[in-house]
Amino acid sequence: MKALRWLALIAAVSLTGALAATPTVALDRADVGLQGARVPPNVLLNLSFTHAAAAAAYVDEYAPTREYAGYFDARSCYTYPYRSQGGASVPDLRIATAYFSALKPSDAQHGCGGDSFSGNFLNWSGTSMLDIVRYAFTGGDRVIDEVRKTVLQRAYLPDGQGGIDFYAHVAYFPRKLLRQGVQTATPFSVLRLSIVSCRNRLLFGDGALAQAGSCESPGTSAGLGVFLARVRVCDTVEGPLRPDLCVAYGKNYKPVGAVQRHGGRLRVGVFGHMNNTLETAGHRYGGVLRAPLAHLGAQRFISPDFLPQDYPDAEWSALTGVYTGRGGGVTTYINAVGRSDEQRPGAYAKQAPLAELLYESLRYLQGRQASTAVAQVADDGLPVVTPWNDPQVASCQRHIVITLGDAGMAGDRYVPGNIPDKGSDPADRARGVDGFVAPPLDVMAWTRAVGVLEVNLPGLEWMTDGIGGASFFAAGLAHWSHVQALRPGGNAGLLTHYAGDLLPASNAAVTKTPLLLAARYGGDIDSDIDIPGHYLPGSDPVALIAGVRAAFMAADHGMSSIAGPSLMALASGAENAYLFQSQMDLGENSMTVSRLPFSLGADGGIIAGKPLWVAGQATRPVYTPGAAGTLIPLQWPRLDASQRTIFDGQDGLGVARIQYLQGERTREVGQPGGVLRRRTGTLGTAPYGNLVYVGTPSLGLPGADYALHRKLLQARRKMLYLGANDGLLHGFDARTGSELFAYLPQALLRGAAASASTHYSADPLLDGAAASAEVLLLGRWKTVLVSGMGGGAQGVFALDVTDPERFAQMGALWEFTDRDDSTMGNLRAAPGFARLKMSGKDSLPAYRDFVVVSSGYNNTADDAHALGKPAAAIFLLALDKPPGAPWQLGSNYYRLKMPLVQPDSDDPGVAAQALAPPALVAGNDGALAYAYAGDLQGNLWRIDFAGGPPWSDGGARRLIFVARDAKGVRQPITQQLKVAYGPGGGYLLLFGTGKLVEAADTWPSALLPQSLYAVHDDLSELAPTRSRASLEQRSLGVATDGYAVTGAELRYAGMATDDAGARHGWYLDLMGTAQTGERSVHSPVLAAGQVFFNTVLPGSDACARPATRLYVLDVLSGFAADSVGLIQAGAITGRLLDGLARAPPLVLEMKSSVGAVGATGRAEGRKQFAVVQPGVPGAAVKVVSAPLPAKRLSWREVANWRELHEAAKK
């Protein structure tokens, strides 16, 4: 069909409505749209505990300079109540009032001046390993749990009733002696202090006297008093100062662990052993289900849609944090082990056959029943759940198994595949392989495989560990379940293990135990370090707490390893071809970036070579704005008081946190004295960021000054920039991969400091996209990089990256946040650059360069800078603002608010209005003439800049189109439009509709009809706001390898004298959106008269593998082209690609051809493009363009041709 060929790309090439209610948009998740992201993961706790779990956490001499983890705040001093008894003042032992209470902060050496107890000393004195476990999982065992009061108690220690007595027990809880500093750490005046732990008590005595006795008759061991090992925590004073333990519930605080912090989305259950404390001999098999996998918090997610619902059986109140006594019993079991039987407190399981417990827990995850009949109630008073309900709620559900064992691990070889080695030992009986899945489970074969992988452990299947003779079968079972499917027809790789040994704190080297190998080969196979990241060492309590938190965080936020931002270009001019790729681990919040050589295959596919470099592990200098707005190194001496307060957190770790952001890893958990969050790399993820390459300045800008600028910078270092969720904008040498520097915005200081915490939850920080351009600042050309701050803060920042070698001296330009203007919101999209015509002297125009951004998301969020009423705006931010100068509306920045548009009465609901990034259109003089932006209500706005500043509110803004589906429902616009010259004048606006920003966008209610549009704006001020009724419909029909595009011939209004039947563009409704959720969220790409759309298909099934469709359409007609480039009705497009595209397609010119010159001096040419999708495997598509004019062209056509040529190379 006949089509006009003189259109050209405008936006992003020629320029380097309010609501009745405004709900916020949740920007906290990086896995939106990924397979299984809606399905709540299962976290199964295997607690293989005996009395050994209650052993002392610390057995070395007290070191005042070391900080000991426990229920007491190590940096506080505590008092204890006394009462009169027999004429003497003695420590109170009444249940309601006997507990330690915080009095004051300690000194730098954890001393208290002789009038109180050091919290650090009390943690060392009486903490058990079980307390550390409880601290990690639940925040501690609450003996008093009221709205305004919480008292935690130490684990109840065995006292000899039917078993071992921990009183001054050399192996489990030895008598401790404080040899010096008694009057600093305690209120006692003796020279040496004796401390004995028994039952739920702490006994203090004069260490110079002979010690003996028992818990009932301690004698001199309690000469200074008997105290209950209890402490009040998280009151209104301590709560805000102890974020590691305390979380606010209204005006009050509660101690919480990983279970509460992540219990809103996860399903948690517990396996344990039968106590059977009355048994005196014999082997008891395996483990039992103590609490079934279930939701614990105020919400639950039920199949098949997994929408959030109120959960009436939550284990704690969402309003107060107080335990409800309802639910499956996870927190109850964790906190009650060892004290649940009031007749025999301190009773624990006598045997811990670890591998057998692990095998039973895997049977549970397989949807099977226990392999042996078990009584429903053990003699510890805690439930044993039987029969088992299938815990798997979806085929793609992820399982995280956390297994903890203690020194009481016993013979545990009765697992499928075992061959006896000990004759009549009941723990070493023969057991056939388990054929539930193919190949059958043979535990000896899988354990042998672990030994082979370890290289130096041949015959591992026959080895034993510890005094109880435990096998290494736990390692074999963990490896098998991690790499094999658990169920027939199921998928492998859905189960990940974490594991740890409860051993007293020690600096001794960690040995290869069954649980260490289970952690490595059950979830951390690729780790090449001695202590894998999935191992939870009880010998380092801080590391164990951190490891539990990391496991829950990874479960909550997704353990997917996915492709991150990519950047690729063919060789052009002075620039070589490059391919930069990143790989993200969402569960670990880590990422690597690499550069690879590549070529294009005959089919357009990428043929990549081995990486030239890989970045993501190194240290770097970090810079941040100082008080005057200029850059300062992120170093403790250079920070002002307010900045130091942010980093120090009242725990003395300010310097360590700064070094952590610089990439230093010596203070990470797992290192000696490590307390900060352990990382697999020093680079955070960038799920919504982008890579920005800055090389030789581009051609095309006029003037001798610019030509000199470009010449001077041809030899400058080529750089690659990337913002990440560690809060930093990273600057890499593009040739070597070394990180030259990083920038930390002032607005992200607090979030970046918090990212070092072990309970950091992968919240977004710097996950906005960036852009760079050559701009004229105060008469000098500069290379400027600008980035939104994404979900981490509401704002944008600008840097001078002209000379990366001198970034420390000249890099700071400015930051602009909601503190400067409360209309500013969260920006994920890359900012734009524009030159604006200002009022000049003597009728001569004056120009000024600006950053152009929309107000983004959530500017009405309830924070300290929220708007009083909803508004959306376009911001113009002057690039020449001096770093220390304040922002002044109408002087160095302009805000153009959109008019108020009330939602229609028939709309099903009101969406938060948020302007998409604007598309910028330059006039003939290169200055910004128009901007176009859509919003979440489907409004498409035009902003006219021709009048120059100041722009009054409401003026020069026009609503030109409203996107609605066939039923009249508004369709959200979240992408930047693309703009082409329109037929007969004006502009053709190309965009798609849809939103994929928050988890709610994948719910069935959000799978609504979406469309692709081309809307002609003739720039008439008299034209009405148009709708789809003004456009020509394009229809899709199912065809081989895609869809056939059909419809009537399109005549554009204004192109002929007879406008009857003429239209103002075209639209195409996507097919089957109720099932596939197909939508357009990425900006289209224009090249050679064609528009390339990536649509994404998250699917209605929560386990559906997401997909991408590529539509290649003629810009003017909306039809597709056939294999030789002929545009016609019925041609096929819409190829389905496996995987979720996270960016627009890359359109690379492979070759071009030009035909013979005709009589008019013109010729027709064709181009062949490779359309590639980095991160989507096997997604290359080869496209041939329709005929294009070549040879002798007019001046206007040359300009258009150049723009198309440049666009095709990107």
Amino acid at 576: N
Asked whether residue 791 is domain-assigned, the answer is no
Asked whether residue 615 is domain-assigned, the answer is no
Same domain, 407 and 531: yes
Same domain, 300 and 372: yes
Distance between CA atoms of residues 920 and 945, nearest Å: 10
Per-residue pLDDT, 297: 94
Same domain, 228 and 309: no
Low-confidence ranges of the chain (pLDDT < 50): 1-21, 277-280, 908-912, 1190-1210
pLDDT tens string 982-1008:
998 999 999 999 999 999 999 999 999
Q: Hey, is 356 helix, strand or coil?
A: helix
Minimal CA–CA distance to 879: which of 812, 830, 932?
Answer: 812
Per-residue pLDDT, 1184: 72
Distance between CA atoms of residues 1083 and 1115, nearest Å: 14
Asked whether residue 511 is domain-assigned, the answer is yes
> How many angstroms separate the Cα of 64 from the Cα of each of 79, 177, 1099?
19, 14, 58
Tokens of 667: 């203070």
Same domain, 236 and 267: no
Cβ pair 497, 450 in contact under 8 A:
no
pLDDT tens string 239-262:
999 999 999 999 999 999 999 999
Same domain, 280 and 212: no
Per-residue pLDDT, 860: 82
Per-residue pLDDT, 274: 83
Same domain, 220 and 262: no
Asked whether residue 1108 is domain-assigned, the answer is no
Q: Hey, is 171 helix, strand or coil?
A: coil
Burial 655-677 (b: 16+ CB within 10 A, else e): ebbbbbbbbebebbbbeeebbbb
Count of other CB atoms within 10 angstroms of residue 1062? 15
Distance between CA atoms of residues 1069 and 716, nearest Å: 48
Domain of residue 305 covers: 42-50+257-413+458-557
Same domain, 297 and 409: yes
For residue 671, what is the DSSP state? B
pLDDT tens string 7-30:
333 333 333 333 334 578 888 888
CA 1033 to chain centre: 41
Asked whether residue 959 is domain-assigned, the answer is no
Per-residue pLDDT, 17: 31
User: How many helices (DSSP H) and strands (DSSP E) are in the chain?
Assistant: 17, 63
Per-residue pLDDT, 1179: 65
Cβ pair 990, 981 in contact under 8 A:
no
How would you classify the pairing of strands 42-48 and 399-406?
parallel
Per-residue pLDDT, 422: 67
Asked whether residue 317 is domain-assigned, the answer is yes
Same domain, 46 and 70: no
Cβ pair 228, 71 in contact under 8 A:
no
Per-residue pLDDT, 353: 93
When divided into structural domains, the chain yields a total of: 2
**Which one of 509, 528, 557 terminates a domain?**
557
Residue 592 host element (H or E): strand 590-596
Minimal CA–CA distance to 470: which of 334, 358, 348, 333?
Answer: 358
For residue 923, what is the DSSP state? -
Same domain, 476 and 400: yes
Per-residue pLDDT, 19: 33
Distance between CA atoms of residues 287 and 358, nearest Å: 8
Same domain, 336 and 477: yes
Same domain, 186 and 264: no
Asked whether residue 98 is domain-assigned, the answer is yes
Per-residue pLDDT, 865: 67
Per-residue pLDDT, 1196: 27
pTM: 0.91
Same domain, 81 and 226: yes
Asked whether residue 181 is domain-assigned, the answer is yes
Distance between CA atoms of residues 231 and 255, nearest Å: 12
